[in-house]
Amino acid sequence: MDVDEEGGLFEGYELKLNSYDLGVDIELADIVQRLRFEHPEVSVVMLGSERTETFCAGANIRMLAQSDHAHKVNFCKFTNETRSAIEDATANSGQTYVAALNGPAAGGGYELALACEEILLIDDGNAAVSLPEVPLLGVLPGTGGLTRLVDKRGVRRDLADRFCTLEEGLRADKALEQGFIDRVASRSSFDTTCLTIEQELTETRDIRGIELGCITKEITEDRLVYASLGVELNRDSRSAEITILGPQEVTPGDAEAALAEGAAFWPLLITSELDDCLLELRFNEPEIGTLIFKSQGSLVSVQAYDRLMVQEPEHWFLREVRLYVARTLRRLDLTAKSIMTLVEPGSCFAGFLAEIVFAADQGYMLEGTFEEDEHPEEASLALSDLNFGSLPMVNGLSRLATRFLHEPSRLDGLRQLAGDELDAAECDNHGLITAAYDDLDWEDEIRLVMEARAGMSPDALTGMEASLRFPGPETMDSKIFARLSAWQNWIFQRPNAVGESGALPLYGTGRRPEFDPRRT
């Protein structure tokens, strides 16, 4: 890291000491993604600093102090998703991340290190690791630090508690002794130790990557237009209608043919566009409260791509596409907007695209056809092997397993239907949709659902949806995105953090914050 102090995404703060804002994290997310697709031969990624005085001071405090509530929360969520992508690359792509801390790592800087598989800290009498948010800023280590300390690194909770109340953190010897880091090295041996770690972990791979390029899109006042995805913004109803366009080209015959298509390989293309779309709506359209998903295209063509994605499971390119699909669907699960899916004649919700139906808070399907419709055949939906564990949610379960958490026997029956085209009555019978309506009732029923949603409290809906979407077991990720994010969201609105005498506005002024001592 060598962050340009004047390179902030907004005015009013300097990114000193390798502190970061959303712009820096966008670059980091891009790097992690490109390493996976453009450089699959890489097996070790060393995260270090070009600054001799510090590794990373974490999220820029003045940026947080001046940001509105929505930006703070969305910034923390995006940062968490990027940290999770680093861990996913280590776990599933064979790209092991190592943090080489050549100076102090504070707050989000140490949280970045915690996302790595191994942490090396220089022992120079000055460097330390710390999570000072609670004593210094009146907020939480919002990018997973608390959870990663105890769930991932196995630090004893009393030691973690004490650590998180020390502004100065721990220097090398104590940090190593208590499990906050993995190795220490003197300044004279630091580079040699980094090389040793690299040699220990490096694997030789004779594979070539692809070039991702950039996403092409057109943005107008009420539309987002991508190559295979279109978004219509209805500001009156505070909704966005997202239409996924199925593949137009012939399915590649095998994994190598898919690799030759590179970034134009349709499952990769549509996933990258959906990923970008979700982030556009999250950050730039906060008043859009409901996402309405539709699709158009050949169900058979989508099924062909689906079969290709599982027929050579060990091929690195198809593996990375599947992993990217899974990450993007998890970003959809975590959106603070209502998700609705409409399955109509001409839809192509099959296999991995059917996951959008299962991710929805409510999903509806037309029974029969519309009069004088260009699509004379009834709507159908198709399952595939990808729907049964290859694309897990943050709770570690598939969306179908989550849907039928207390009816696991249903999954066996659904597996037998993989590949079949299921009509509305069958989908309703198998619990794959919320309800099916005929063409006479369709327009009115859907309108009533959308109007009712638009008239409810956005805050209450966000809390309700987040609570209902992830039943079942907890994982480190589910704790971070459900429990930790909810608490941070609340704390960011409290006067102790952001009031006139709160810790964030007074940071760096020399004045001590005045805390309301009442606990709620």
Structure confidence at residue 142 as a pLDDT band (50, 70, 90): confident
The pLDDT score that the predictor gives to residue 85 is 98
CA atoms within 13 A on the CB side of 167: 4
**In angstroms, how far apart are the furthest CA atoms of the chain?**
78
- Name the burial class of residue 193, with classes exposed (0-12), middle (13-18) and buried (19+) by CB atoms within 10 angstroms of its CB: middle
The pLDDT score that the predictor gives to residue 519 is 86
How many C-beta atoms lie closer than 10 Å to residue 512's C-beta?
Answer: 9
Give residue-wise pLDDT tens across range 387-414. Answer: 999 999 999 999 999 999 999 999 999 9
Which residue reads 């077991």 in tokens?
Answer: 473
Give residue-wise pLDDT tens across range 450-476. Answer: 999 999 999 999 999 999 999 999 999
How many C-beta atoms lie closer than 10 Å to residue 43's C-beta?
Answer: 16
The mean per-residue pLDDT over the stretch 46-55 comes to 94
Give the separation between CA 154 and CA 12, rounded to whole angstroms. Answer: 39
What is the residue-wise DSSP string for 460-482? HHHHHHHHHS--S---HHHIIII
The mean per-residue pLDDT over the stretch 257-281 comes to 97
The CATH code belonging to domain 218-466 is 3.90.226.10
Q: Is the pLDDT of residue 433 over 80?
A: yes
- What does the mean pLDDT of the chain come to? 95
* φ and ψ of 431, to 5 deg: 75, 25
The pLDDT score that the predictor gives to residue 249 is 82
| Segment among 114-123, 237-246, 499-508 with least mean pLDDT | 499-508
Q: Answer for the pair 105, 113: CB distance below 8 angstroms, yes or no.
A: yes
Sheet holding 105-106, edge to edge: 105-106, 128-130, 170-171
The mean per-residue pLDDT over the stretch 372-388 comes to 91
Terminal alpha carbon distance of the chain: 40
Give the separation between CA 341 and CA 443, rounded to whole angstroms. Answer: 14
* φ and ψ of 101, to 5 deg: -90, 100
Structure confidence at residue 143 as a pLDDT band (50, 70, 90): confident
Structure confidence at residue 483 as a pLDDT band (50, 70, 90): confident
What is the residue-wise DSSP string for 209-272? ---------EE-SSEEE-SSEEEEEETTTTEEEEEEEPP-SPPPSSHHHHHHHGGGSHHHHHHH
In CATH terms, the superfamily for domain 16-205+492-506 is 2-enoyl-CoA Hydratase; Chain A, domain 1 (3.90.226.10)
Structure confidence at residue 374 as a pLDDT band (50, 70, 90): confident
16-205+492-506 and 218-466 agree in CATH topology: yes
Structure confidence at residue 512 as a pLDDT band (50, 70, 90): very high
Q: Is the pLDDT of residue 372 over 80?
A: no
Structure confidence at residue 482 as a pLDDT band (50, 70, 90): confident
Domain ranges of the chain: 16-205+492-506, 218-466
Q: Which residues sit opposite 56 in a β-bridge?
A: 105
The pLDDT score that the predictor gives to residue 435 is 97
Q: Answer for the pair 56, 109: CB distance below 8 angstroms, yes or no.
A: yes
pTM across the whole model: 0.96
Give the separation between CA 480 and CA 142, rounded to whole angstroms. Answer: 9
The pLDDT score that the predictor gives to residue 52 is 86
